[in-house]
Each structure stands twice: as C-alpha cells, then as structure tokens.
Structure 1
Amino acid sequence: MPHSAPASSSTTRQPRTAWLGAGLTLLANSGADALTIDQLCAAVGRSKGSFYHHFADVGSYAEALLDHWQELHTAGLIRAVDQQSTAQERRMMLAKLALALDARVERAMRQWAARNALVKHRLGNIDQRRIAYLAGLIAELRDDGDHTDALDLARIEYATFVGMFYVFPDGQEEDMMRMLRRFIGLMTPEAIARLPA
C-alpha cells in the first residue's frame, strides 16, 4: 500500500492575511518602529522562515501592508457604499463606515508617512482617491454641475474628518457621527434636509 505524501510545511504557516493583520495591529499599538520581522513573528507565532515564505523582505512587507490597508480602509468601503441605492444613502453610509475605521491605524499611517517616502507617496494617492470619491458624492447631491466647488467641499470635509481622529482620539462613534452629520449639513444644506435620520 503506498504511503501518503507528507503534508506540505506551508500548511503550518499562517496565511498572508494573518501577517498583514498583525502588522496593522502592531502599527496601531506601537507605531511603525514595531514593524520588524522579529516582532511580526512574535505577533503571528511563526518563524522567520514563515515570514520569508510570503515576503521577500521588510520592504516588500511594507508594500503589501499598504495594499492591505488600502483595501480594508478605502477600496472595501467604496464598494460597500456603492451598494446603496440613492446618493443620500451613499453619503451617510460613507460617513458611518469612515467613522468606524480604527483611528489608531489612520493616525499611525500618517505618522509613518512623515518618516518614510514610500508611505508618504502611497498615503497621498489614497487621500486623493478618497477625496475624489467624496467629491463625486457631493456633486451628485448638490446637482448643480459645479465640480470645482464639490472638490473644494470634499477637501475641506476630508481634512475635518482626518482632524477628528487627532482632536478626539477616544471619541465615541455616535458622537463623531452627530458632529460629522452637522458638518455635512453646513457644507451641503440643501442635501442634508433629504438625508435619512
């Protein structure tokens, strides 16, 4: 009777997403200096060999972590918002999902970007994507054809949103949502009257 082939050692390795999730947790709790191979291995409970199975080095890991963060905190949100039926629903769903993001990760990414050119470049691109998407929603709600005005409003609102993560680092989501809703009303009063409570 033939013997079964031994199980591949890769089956004992953590999936790539586990390494990326651990990186976001380390980043949120301890900052970018914690993103070392040793600390990642300790967080995941695996060896350096397992790390190198997925990533060539710390630089490639950083790229993958930025991709993972962009997917979770930007692309995934946009897909969820786009599932809503009306512009008003999309507008408020975006606010709700954005405020549910881990503020520690958002702050840590900006602190990391201040010291790392790659992260600064990627963060700049992500910020521009977020602002452009928000501007599209504002333009749709205002329905006045003034895309320059919508972009300016989106930039102001996005800066306010990012600032809230710093000014109110421990803010309750419901309080933040109330403030953001009030701000949206100031920015686009003709649209806020049509938004669901």
Structure 2
Amino acid sequence: MAPKHSLTPDDWIKTAFRLLADAGPRAIRVDLMCKALGVTKGSFYWHFDDLAALKAAMIERWRQAAARDLIASATQTELAPRDLIIGLFEEVQKRQAKGGALAETALRQWAGADPAVLKLVREADNERLAFLTTQMRAAGLTGGEARSRAAFVYAALIGMEQLAGEPALTPSNMAGIIDAALTPGV
C-alpha cells in the first residue's frame, strides 16, 4: 500500500488497469481504487477531475505502450523487415511476462462496450498494422498482398496476446508464421 503523499497519477492508472484486468471495466470505480490504495476519494480527485479523465488517461497510456512504444522498441536497431517483425513479437512476449497481455485483453473487452475505447483501440491497431505493412513492403511484397499479409501477422500477434502463456506460441513458431507471410506466392 502506497503512502498517501506519494501517490501519483501513474499509481491510479496502474491500479485501474489491475482492476480492469481482474474484474472488467465495471470495476474501474473510485471507491474500489481508493480501497486498493488505502486512501480517500479526495486523493483521487487531487489527481483527476473525474472518472472519465482517469479512463482517458488509461486509454492513452495503453495506446502509447501498445503501439508507439512497442514499435519504437522493436525498431531500435537497423534490422531486416523479418527481424523487425520478430522483434515486435518478442516485445509483446516481454510485455506478456509483465502482465501486459491481461490488460490488453481486458481493454479489448472494454472496447466492445465503449465506443470511445473502441476508437482508440482501432487507432492503435492501425498504427501496428501500418508498421507491419511497411515491413511487408520492405521485404518485397506489394499492394494488397502486403496489407493482407500484415493483417494475417497482426491477427497472430493479437491471438498471441489473447492466449498469453500458450506453449504452442513459442518464438520459433512465430518466426515460422512470419517467414510464411513474407514468402511471395505462399
């Protein structure tokens, strides 16, 4: 339990994500977060105007981590397209090991019931798809084929997040999927 004086907006966002992952979007409530953090509601309102502001901060934090930071991390070095895509999958696996997949799965479920969340999830999906399509084109695929193969690889990535911990989705299996997607005419 964090002392009252040391709480930051980040503490509230992390707590809200834990509640979301554990119990769904209805658990993102001020009273439940206060109980989890051992503070009063005044502490919450010191950091956020209302629950909607917290939810907006949660979604933006996820979008930054799920798309921008993930892609930036995967592209830190000059690599071939295949290796960049594999790097993206490896980054997702690292985040899964830290509990990130649970938050993403819960956030996608939340998006099913909240149009504002859905909009931002789709924007993050589009950023990831654009990255993958660029890598497919850099590997020699063209036009619609590059986009459809990127969508296939992205579906595997989302599936991997949904099945966090599934032993059949090892890095070597994902490399095989990526190799197949990068091979023209397959």
TM-score by length of structure 2 reads: 0.85
State the secondary structure of the residue aligned to 1:100.
helix
Aligned-partner Cα distance in 1 for 2:86–2:164: 21
Runs of 5+ in structure 1 lacking a partner? 1-10, 191-197
- 8 Å contact 2:66–2:124 — kept in the other structure? no
- 8 Å contact 1:135–1:154 — kept in the other structure? yes
Mapping 1:25-64, distance limit 5 Å: 25-64=18-57
Matched, 1:139 2:137: yes
2:114 — aligned with what? 116
- 8 Å contact 2:20–2:106 — kept in the other structure? yes
Matched, 1:155 2:141: no
Aligned-partner Cα distance in 2 for 1:189–1:179: 16
Runs of 5+ in structure 2 lacking a partner? none
User: CA offset at residue 123 of structure 1?
Assistant: 0.9
1:92 — aligned with what? 86
Identity %: 25
Aligned residue identity for 1:130: R
Q: Deviations 1:26-53 (Å, cap 9, x if unpaired)?
A: 1112211110001111223322111111
State the secondary structure of the residue aligned to 1:134.
helix
2:176 — aligned with what? 182
Q: Deviations 1:110-144 (Å, cap 9, x if unpaired)?
A: 1101111111111111111111111112211x235
TM-score by length of structure 1 reads: 0.80
Q: Return 84-93 or 29-38, whichever deviates more.
A: 84-93
Alignment RMSD: 2.0
Larger radius of gyration: 1
Query: Aligned pairs, how many?
Result: 176
RCO comparison, higher one (Cα < 8 Å, 6+): 2
2:10 — aligned with what? 17
- 8 Å contact 1:13–1:46 — kept in the other structure? no
Aligned residue identity for 1:137: Q
User: CA offset at residue 86 of structure 1?
Assistant: 1.4
